Structure 1
Amino acid sequence: MTSQKLQHFLNKNLRDLKTKGLYNEIDTVEGANGPVITINGKELINLSSNNYLGLATDERLKEEAIQAVKSHGVGAGAVRTINGTLDLHNELERKLAEFKGTEAAISYQSGFNCNMAAISAVMDKNDAILSDELNHASIIDGCRLSRAKIIRFNHSDMDDLRAKAKEAVESGQYNKIMVITDGVFSMDGDVAKLPEIVEIAEEFDLMTYVDDAHGSGVLGKGAGTVKHFGLQDKVDFQMGTLSKAIGVIGGYVAGKQNLIDWLKVRSRPFLFSTAVTPADAKATIKAIDLIMESEELQQNMWENSEYLKNGLKKLGYDIGNSETPITPVIIGDENTTQQFSKRLIEEGVYAKSIVFPTVPRGTGRVRNMPTAAHTKEMLDQAIAVYEKIGKELNIL
């Protein structure tokens, strides 16, 4: 017999989410997640993936993955600290350190795992974390897991950060204080003010932690937000995912050798979860090589980004202040946002709605992610659909 209280809780809250336009329907992609995808047998221009450089479907990465399966099998077979560290994992970590411009790097199973692992391995209940109010959910969860005092500062507000850093230091309550921020904020596409953050950190002896999930492969000639500002020697933790612009799966933390040594003996996801597959490791190495060898994919991505942004702005849409390919079309009302996204899909454009709790109430948006793999014809078609639906719903 199942719990009646559980059933009441689930049914009541699911109904509530659906009524408020906050229930997210999950769609199934039939085949590869490229610039055009198939859902329910219908081809759609895909503007919702994080596959910035088109590498998730790149033939060169596929071939590397196939060869790795043949030589190393389909799984690592164990956690890293027993005998699950394959030569490919060591090669991947050397490549990541070279890519990020650090002494060393550690590989994890996902970007979310990185934040759960690294923050709690270094911070504890006697410490404090200054966290941007718009940081990703994985940062928030990683901070909570550490049991450190979490002090939120207003988004990219350097005066507020300085004041709260000063107050935390002068209180004498904390052994260590960290400031943590996304490099690129995923909902609005704006870039963290890293030079100012580093300046404040040096003034108050704060540790610095940058989650560069949406910056790696995009900014800094592909090496990320920290490289974009030339701050590789000033940031203690460079964290990122390998599932967005890199096109595969996994995550990493890059930094000083002693930091990486510590994470390998104290970060729980590294200690208690099987390593990424040989195919993932080998494909990731190839992706990083491609990014380091040529800027062609990044150039294509940026050209497509500007093309789509200009088209949407010309129509009169509010696309916020994005400094990256992330292109939100801000609608506001949650139900209208859900309806807008549904109509886009009906007209052949896949761009998902983003509503509370992912973004604040009343700021619902459809988030567009143009990639290097899109053609101008695809983007023209998408812009035409945006015009049609904007007029239909009285948004334009």
Structure 2
Amino acid sequence: MTTSLSGRLSAELSNLRSSGLLIKPRVLDGANRARTRVDGREVVNLASNNYLGFADHPRLKEKAAAYLREWGVGAGAVRTIAGTLRIHEELEQQLAAFKHTGSALVLHSGFTTNQGVLGTLLKEGDLVISDALNHASIIDGLRLTKATKKVYKHADADDLERLLQENETDGLKLVVTDGVFSMDGDLAPLDKLIAVARKYGAVTYVDDAHGSGVMGKDGRGTVHHFGFENADDVIQVGTLSKAWGGVGGYAAGHADLRELLINRARPYLFSTAQPPAVVGGLVAAIEEVQRDPSLMRRLWDNTHYFKAELSRLGFDTMGSVTPITPVLFGEPEAAFEASRLLFEEGVFAVGLGFPTVPRGSARIRNIVTAEHTRADLDQALEAYDKVGRKLKIVG
């Protein structure tokens, strides 16, 4: 008997409910800021990726409004037909200069950027070696290619070298890693990984979604943090959401990379260009992070304070060294209950379990921002202490 649509939907939703994995997103009643209203309650927001407070920043809103008035609501076409406005190319030139790369191209999201760039670069006969904890968008992007795929142990340069030794090819060799890993908050050891890649003639591909705007001078990213800017054998991709407050993705690297992507990257070829207001906000974001060094300083001051205080209270932050600060609860039921109790205390922090993170490592992922005040963080820490004691996570 043929499965009906109604039957399929009902069965899939039932499976999600019974496994405790059915997602019901909370609804924000205001702008995504360090303090906001969620489901009618005022909360300290530790759930967003708004690292620099740009999502509701007055300078970004002013520039977005100006671009909206001058250039309209939408671009009106895909970039390769009639959708490339001068402001798109100006943003890409600005981004390449900021990243210290030969070229840059803006795409529609970080997810589609990985699909587009990996799909363009990799062919049958090529070799790609990917970190075991890389983002889902990298995994999905690689599934679309015919390259030989291998996975090295997380952040393990020795295992990467083993795989490069064991898998010779005359094709392109690509080593793929996140810059900052989104669930654990640790850094890829790019100094070691790039050295190994170069030893075997491989190109290094860094998804810096959580490092761009956070790591390196003026937020230039993890590649800059490790001193590899101006390197033609390193490709940087990432989002223009998160720290940048808008939406979109970018690919930056070799001077010829942009031109090839314009001609071959399917998400670029078949999607309408970014709206002018989004472009204006992104232009302002890159200007602002260089104009106001206090943004990065506050981000990292808040990060160090929050981590230290969580550790003092007895929580396991899993060795994170970035503003992404996981708190380990182990089992998903404990993480989800802690999230619920924190919300009752006025703190919005989301629990994560399998399959988002490995079994036995369910956690709450907290992200502090430059916009949080010390009072915000102290309120969150007081709530964590109360909830942790109630659940017997800390003594």
Residue identity in the other structure for 2:220: A
1:228 aligns to 2:219 (yes or no): no
1:256-304, CA deviations, whole angstroms, 9 ceiling, x for partnerless residues?
Answer: 1211111110101111101111011111011001112332101001011
Q: Distance in 2 between matches of 1:233 and 1:226?
A: 10
**2:203 aligned residue (203, 207, 224):** 207
Matching residue of 2:386: 388
Q: Distance in 1 between matches of 2:73 and 2:315?
A: 46
Pairwise CA distance, 1:11: 3.1
Secondary structure in 2 aligned to 1:231?
Answer: coil
Pairwise CA distance, 1:62: 0.3
Residue identity in the other structure for 2:62: E
Secondary structure in 2 aligned to 1:245?
Answer: helix
Pairwise CA distance, 1:339: 1.0
Residue identity in the other structure for 2:196: I
Secondary structure in 2 aligned to 1:121?
Answer: helix
- After alignment, is 232-241 or 277-286 more displaced? 232-241
Matching residue of 2:295: 297
Computed over aligned residues only, the root mean square deviation of the Cα atoms, in angstroms, reads 1.4
Residue identity in the other structure for 1:182: D
Q: Distance in 1 between matches of 2:74 and 2:35?
A: 30
Q: Distance in 1 between matches of 2:104 and 2:203?
A: 17
Q: Distance in 1 between matches of 2:83 and 2:14?
A: 45
Q: Distance in 2 between matches of 1:244 and 1:91?
A: 21
Aligned positions, number: 392
Q: Distance in 1 between matches of 2:148 and 2:27?
A: 40
Q: Distance in 1 between matches of 2:314 and 2:8?
A: 42
1:183 aligns to 2:165 (yes or no): no
Secondary structure in 2 aligned to 1:196?
Answer: helix
1:101 aligns to 2:100 (yes or no): yes
Consecutive unaligned residues in structure 2, runs of 5 or more: none
Matching residue of 2:269: 271
Pairwise CA distance, 1:147: 2.3
Residue identity in the other structure for 2:121: V
1:250 aligns to 2:248 (yes or no): yes
Matching residue of 1:45: 44
Q: How does 1:129-208 map to 2 (within 5 A)?
A: 129-169=128-168, 172=169, 175-208=171-204
Secondary structure in 2 aligned to 1:210?
Answer: strand
Aligned CA distance change for structure 1 residues 87 and 236 (closer, same or farther; 3 Å): same
Matching residue of 1:218: 214
- Superposition TM-score, scaled by structure 2 size: 0.96
Q: How does 1:104-123 map to 2 (within 5 A)?
A: 104-123=103-122
Secondary structure in 1 aligned to 2:357?
Answer: coil
- After alignment, is 44-53 or 8-17 more displaced? 8-17
Pairwise CA distance, 1:185: 0.3
Q: Is the 8 A contact 1:20 1:334 kept in 2?
A: no
Matching residue of 1:83: 82
- Superposition TM-score, scaled by structure 1 size: 0.96
Q: Distance in 1 between matches of 2:18 and 2:333?
A: 9
Secondary structure in 2 aligned to 1:262?
Answer: helix
Residue identity in the other structure for 1:307: Y
Q: Distance in 2 between matches of 1:346 and 1:4?
A: 42
Pairwise CA distance, 1:91: 0.7
Q: Is the 8 A contact 1:21 1:338 kept in 2?
A: no
Pairwise CA distance, 1:9: 4.1
- After alignment, is 235-244 or 268-277 more displaced? 235-244
Q: Is the 8 A contact 2:206 2:235 kept in 1?
A: yes
Pairwise CA distance, 1:5: 4.7
Pairwise CA distance, 1:149: 1.8
Pairwise CA distance, 1:15: 3.1
Secondary structure in 2 aligned to 1:345?
Answer: helix
Matching residue of 1:334: 332
Matching residue of 2:28: 29
Q: Is the 8 A contact 2:102 2:230 kept in 1?
A: no
Q: Distance in 2 between matches of 1:16 and 1:269?
A: 32
Pairwise CA distance, 1:383: 0.5
Secondary structure in 1 aligned to 2:338?
Answer: helix
Residue identity in the other structure for 1:185: F
Matching residue of 2:342: 344
Q: Distance in 1 between matches of 2:302 and 2:337?
A: 26
Secondary structure in 2 aligned to 1:29?
Answer: coil
Residue identity in the other structure for 1:131: S
1:285-341, CA deviations, whole angstroms, 9 ceiling, x for partnerless residues?
Answer: 110011123321010010111111111111100101111000000101011111111
Residue identity in the other structure for 1:373: E
Q: Distance in 2 between matches of 1:25 and 1:336?
A: 18
Aligned CA distance change for structure 1 residues 17 and 335 (closer, same or farther; 3 Å): farther
Pairwise CA distance, 1:168: 1.1
Q: Percent identity?
A: 46
Residue identity in the other structure for 1:188: D
1:50-84, CA deviations, whole angstroms, 9 ceiling, x for partnerless residues?
Answer: 00000111000000011111000010100000110
Residue identity in the other structure for 1:76: A
Q: Distance in 2 between matches of 1:277 and 1:9?
A: 36
Secondary structure in 2 aligned to 1:344?
Answer: helix
Consecutive unaligned residues in structure 1, runs of 5 or more: none
- Divergent runs of 4+, >6 A: none
Matching residue of 2:306: 308
